[in-house]
Structure 1
Amino acid sequence: SGPQGERILAELLRLPGRGVAVRVAVSAPSAKAPLDDLRALERSGAAVRAVDLPRLTGGVLHTKFWLVDGAHLYIGSANMDWRSLTQVKELGAAIYNCSCLAKDLGKIFEAYWALGVPDASIPAPWPDNYSTAFNAETPLQLALNDTAAAVYFSPRLHVPLPQVARRRRRQPHALRRAGGGYRRRGHSGGDGPLRGVTVPSRPQRLFLVPVSAAQARIPFARVNHNKYMVTEKAAYVGTSNWSGDYFERTAGSALVVAQPGAGAGTFREQLQDVFERDWGSQYSVDIGDAERWGSRCGPR
């Protein structure tokens, strides 16, 4: 399962030799997340900084995005890990030839880069060069796939999951359908938060990724790792797990696209199609049946 990731790493190792500047901001290393590949990048000429988010916020650097040549970008759920290419169900957005969005996302990267120096501290307030004119109130107006869109990047989703549960109970028609992944050995929160927003006639389903005995030995694999949301008018693709602590202490980012106009192939409609495909999949089950169906997907 590793060749795809190995090819990407090999290409990155060659870039500094061709005069391409490579910078990587990552979480501080740990026994579970050593930096062997990044050390190889450093030896090739890349610049690497480890951001000590556990010390700064009590969280981790959970953002996953790429910026290329000041014009192209990727943001999504996939970790920079070979398993994300072959053993984990991921979702992300790639945007090409859009320097305005790349520059805006670059400000988030520069913030991480600044926090990657020894003994860094979070400035209060942040200097003006890290600020952006684009947000939920004043999004960037542009065309995506030839359709008008209002776009901005969010360092974190504005409403943590516990607040979603509270709002859900006050606004019973706001949430139509919810889908998520499932692991028998997972986050301590389990599916409790999702169950907390369950109401009659509002179905919720879990996506159970099948796994063989050999695949079960691969750590942190064979899961639905997507982090996205789609509404009638907007689409959200993020990097944060749907757990309250990820929106309180952990550094994540998200692409938010408001695209109310109809048109085949709009970003919102593409995301809607992904949701509908997975909702009707043979691996998608009602949340109440997760334990019963989980046994059919092999050991977790």
Structure 2
Amino acid sequence: MPFLPTRALAALLAAFGLLVTPASRAEFAIPGFELVHTVPVETPLATPDLREPVKVWRQMFDAAKDEIVIGQFYVAGQPGEPLDTVIEALEAAAARGVRIRFLMEARGERISDAATLARLRAIRGLEFRILEFGRLQPGGIIHAKYFVVDRREAFVGSQNFDWRALKHIHETGLRITDATVVAQVQAIFEQDWRAQALLAAGQPVPPQAAASAPVDLNRPAFLLASPRAFNPPGVGDSEEALPRLLAQAQREVRVQLLDYAPLSYASGRRPFYAVIDNAVRAAAARGVQVKLMVSNWNTEEPAIHHLQSLALLPEVEIRIVTLPRASSGFIPFARVIHTKAMTIDGELAWVGTSNWMGGYLNNSRNLEVVLRDKAMAARVAALHEQLWNSPFAERIDINRRYPKPAKGEPTGG
């Protein structure tokens, strides 16, 4: 699908019934899947047909009758901010007798808000466990962000359990009622919950038997996960499937990420990781137009040099998105695009939790939902197009030496 000007994009959305009128419902969904989006406040990036995660999460928790299971990287609330109401919904669910199991990454404990951790642990009926995923897969973490309610609906997306993800960060996720995918997300949680119990008891965690065959990429909807060694039976391997999906592209691939680099995220010397980059370059070599959009956090060295190299390919265009600071002042680890999404040829949508760098699809727990649906692909592509054409997106300069981005601390300028 070539570049779409505003009128053409509107026509495409109208063709699939995606345009919102004053009388239409503020929800975009296909059978089994609702697209959920966080618009950073104080930006013009309105998406009135997409519900906000805080509303979706509260609705799901309020409807819970038996059990809620949650897997997260870390937790961070702040008094008076949206995550407060989500935790209130968990407290109310527990008071109704709903069993809640919460699993968090050990490395995430260091960056979590202590008060939020204490509040969650104080909920009667909530069992809180911490898993050091790196003991299963060296270098790995629980990076997935997901939960399941009553084994009947799930949420998977880029939103961390963080007040900033509900207000100050560009995020995308899916509320899932498709029974097969919901069961697979539940199986991921049960696999990791058991792993934590085994490790706590001083016992080894055996890897799962390797899948007998690669996942069928032609299914209308399926879940992918990583790392392969610890995926439950029936769940596809993200690292194996992503290059195959890119190999199917014929016209256009749109991608939005926090970070992209053919490097692992290790500190110090960062090992080369070519799996994704090779697949992207192979698509471009076939004449596929690649539109890659990353956050300004991706301008750190040496990752920026790999991006600049990729941008030399005539079929590849890369834009870097810098969101303005909030009027309240600098907010650490916020005001950034964090969505992890892809569309291929207007036919397929990918919404997940993984950055496209080494360490994520090969070592860490991440989840990706793939939908072979034109309406969903069109809506995810329109979300990409809106940001792509916004004043916050700037085409990469292959000759520029970019300043160090402000993440946890403000910098000059």
Q: What TM-score does the superposition give when structure 2 sets the normalisation length?
A: 0.60
Deviations 1:49-107 (A, max 9, x none): 211113322221000012112221111101011111112111111123x3332112111
Number of matched residues? 277
Which of 81, 88, 91 is 1:13 aligned to?
91
In structure 2, C-alpha distance between the alignment counterparts of 1:124 and 1:76, rounded to whole Å: 25
What SS does the aligned partner of 1:203 have?
A: strand
Are the aligned partners of 2:276 and 2:356 in contact in 1 as well (CA < 8 Å)? no
Deviation (angstroms), 1:193: 3.8
Shift of 1:3: 2.1
Gaps of 5+ in 2: 1-77, 227-237, 244-261, 263-273
Residues 1:66 and 2:147 are matched in the alignment:
yes
Q: Partners of 2:393 and 2:209 in 1: how far apart?
A: 44
The one-letter code sitting in structure 2 at the alignment partner of 1:252 is N
> Superposed, which structure 2 residues align to 1:41-190 within 5 Å?
41-44=120-123, 45-57=125-137, 58-96=139-177, 98-117=178-197, 118=200, 119=202, 121-126=204-209, 136-137=215-216, 150-156=220-226, 157-158=238-239, 159=242, 161=262, 162-171=274-283, 172=285, 173-183=287-297, 189-190=302-303
The match for 2:381 among 265, 272, 280 is 272
| Residue aligning to 1:286 | 395
Q: What's the CA shift string for 1:201-228, capped at 9, x where partnerless?
A: 4211111111158532x22111101111
Q: In 2 relative to 1, CA 73–30 (structure 1 residues): closer, same or farther, beyond 3 Å?
A: closer
**2: CA distance, partners of 1:85 / 1:192:** 32
Q: AA paired with 1:166?
A: N
Q: Gapped runs of 5+ residues in structure 1?
A: 141-149
Q: CA deviation at 1:14?
A: 2.0
Q: Secondary structure of 2:354's match? A: coil
> Post-superposition shift, 1:281?
0.8
Q: CA deviation at 1:170?
A: 3.8
For the residue of structure 1 that corresponds to 2:314, the secondary structure is coil
Counterpart Cα distance in 1 of 2:291 and 2:350: 15
Q: Does 1:220 align with 2:333?
A: yes
Contact 1:135 1:154 in 2 (8 A): no
Percentage identity across paired residues of the two chains: 23
Q: Could you list the per-position Cα deviations for residues 178-217 of structure 1 after superposition, in whole angstroms to 9, with x for gaps in the alignment?
A: 1111128x7665334433422124211111111158532x
- Aligned AA (1:165): D
Out of 88, 91, 101, the position equivalent to 1:23 is 101
Letter of the 1:124 partner, please give it.
P
- Rounded Cα–Cα distance in structure 1 between residues aligned with 2:309 and 2:275: 11
User: What value does the CA root-mean-square deviation take over the aligned residues?
Assistant: 3.1
One-letter code aligned to 2:393: S
AA matched with 1:116: Q
Map of 1:146 onto structure 2 = none
| Cα distance between partner residues in 2 of 1:174 and 1:30 | 42
- 1:197 pairs with 2:310: yes
Cα displacement (A) at 1:114: 1.2
Q: Deviations over 1:228-283 (max 9, x none)?
A: 11111211111011212212221111101112xx5xxx211110110111111111
Hey, which of these two has a bigger chunk of strand by percent? Answer: 2
Normalising by structure 1, what TM-score? 0.81
Report how far residue 290 of structure 1 moved: 8.9
* Within-5 A mapping of 1:30-41: 30-33=109-112, 36-41=115-120
1: distance between equivalents of 2:192 and 2:114?
17
| Contact 1:168/1:175, CA 8 A, preserved across alignment | no
Distance 1:270 1:56 in 2: 37
Is the alpha carbon distance of 1:113 and 1:120 closer, same or farther for their aligned partners in structure 2, counting shifts above 3 Å?
farther
